[in-house]
Amino acid sequence: MDQSEIDALMTKGPAKAGKKGGAEAQAKPAGTVNPDDPQGHVISELDAVTAVTERETNKVMDQLDLISTLVGSQQTLITEVMRHPGAQDPAVQTAVNQLMAAGKEIQAKVYEAMDLMQFQDITRQKLERIVFHLRQIHDYIVDLLGTGLKSEGERASISRTITSTGTTPDEKRAHADSVVDEFKRSLNKD
Amino acid sequence: MKILIVDDSSTMRRIIINTLSRIGYTDVVEGEHGKAGLEKLAQGGVEMIITDWNMPEMDGLEFVQAVRTQNASIPILMVTTNAAKEDIVQALQAGVNNYVVKPFTPDTLKEKIESLLG
């Protein structure tokens, strides 16, 4: 994200909506309701954050891909050098082997870094969950002001909807392999 | 072996493609949601599907159900952040063959793919 985008985000809201919804927003004083942006500026900003982090993560991935390619080229060159008659000296062989080992280690770290980029998708989904909560709260308050207090049944319904959307809270996380095994065993019994 | 990857996150698709290429699978097609996944599947040649759950247009569960109406045997692996027991069971009932919770390691993905193909 460059400075102009940061400035635009801080003053006028996101330049464009996120891919899972969100409308272009105009900055409004606190407490003002914008009829063109009923979900509010905060939600639009969160949408923009997810879009920007995905784009920037892909830029990091581009750089990691480039490092990986360069390391691959270096390994090829080192292999060529090792075939050269002048490289048969034991000291040279030792140094070249160390270079090869270092290259492999760099490659492994590059792959590890690529795998760690999964945080972007997980964070995005957590933000989407927050957006969902905010929309529910927004709708609930609007409804509350318009038609009075909701019944307990309706409150429970909203609660269930929130619980079943987005990433799973830590206390509800199950061990996938155990559940899959249990499910397959139950199918075999039937 | 052509593998279809369905995920709305371009980063995740890239990570999965990268992981697959490291374990020897380089023939990959991509879709950014369930509808796009069905279109790619209709083009033919796909022998395995890796799909996310939470996606716009058509989510992973609807996608799996749609696939199963036309293809009962193609292996489907769901890779998602949904980790609650009821979610996993719901996915299995829809026709998913195995399930991986994000974040995953390359070893986990390899193990699941090999067990589905083995």
Per-residue pLDDT tens for A86-101? 888 888 888 888 999 9
- Name the closest residue on chain B to residue A171, using Cα atoms: B84
Give how far the C-alpha of residue A25 lies from the chain's centroid of Cα atoms, to the nearest Å.
23
Return d(Cα A46, Cα B54) in angstroms, integer. Answer: 17
H/E run at residue A177: helix A176-189
Would you state the structure tokens that stand for residue A89, as one six-digit string? 């000296």
Q: Which residue has the higher pLDDT, B89 or A133?
A: B89
Tell if the CB–CB gap between A176 and B100 is shorter than 8 Å.
yes
Looking at CA atoms only, how far is residue B11 from chain A in angstroms?
6
Residue A106 has pLDDT above 90, yes or no: yes
Return d(Cα B40, Cα A14) in angstroms, integer. Answer: 33
Tell if the CB–CB gap between B103 and A118 is shorter than 8 Å.
yes
Contact yes or no for B37/B31 (Cβ under 8 A): yes
Spell out which residues of chain B touch residue A21, defining contact as CB-CB under 8 Å: 56
A18, β-bridge pairs? A21
Lowest mean pLDDT segment, chosen from A20-24, A66-70, B53-57, B83-87: A20-24
End-to-end CA distance of chain A: 55
User: pLDDT value at position B90?
Assistant: 95
Return d(Cα B79, Cα B116) in angstroms, integer. Answer: 14
Highest mean pLDDT among A2-11, A30-39, A174-183, B2-11: B2-11
Would you state the structure tokens that stand for residue B53, as one six-digit string? 């759950």
Q: Looking at chain A from residue 119 to 158, which residues have their Cβ under 8 Å from any Cβ of chain B? A: 119-122, 124-125, 128
Contact yes or no for B82/B54 (Cβ under 8 A): yes
Spell out which residues of chain B touch residue A129, defining contact as CB-CB under 8 Å: none
Per-residue pLDDT band for A166 (boundaries 50, 70, 90) equals low
Would you state the structure tokens that stand for residue A47, as one six-digit string? 């949408």
H/E run at residue B77: strand B76-80
**What ipTM score was computed for the predicted complex, to two decimals?**
0.81
Would you state the structure tokens that stand for residue A95, as one six-digit string? 């140094």
Looking at CA atoms only, how far is residue B41 from chain A in angstroms?
23
Across the range A30-46, mean pLDDT stands at 57
Amino acid at residue number B90: Q
Tell if the CB–CB gap between A114 and B102 is shorter than 8 Å.
no
DSSP characters for A6-60?
HHHHHHH--SS-BTTB--------TT---TT-TT-HHHHHHHHHHHHHHHHHHHH
Report pLDDT digits (tens) over B26-78: 999 999 999 999 999 999 999 999 999 999 889 999 999 999 999 999 999 99
Return d(Cα B86, Cα A171) in angstroms, integer. Answer: 13
| Residue A183 forms contact with B (CB below 8 Å) | yes
Q: Reduced to 3 states, what is the DSSP secondary structure of residue B30?
A: strand
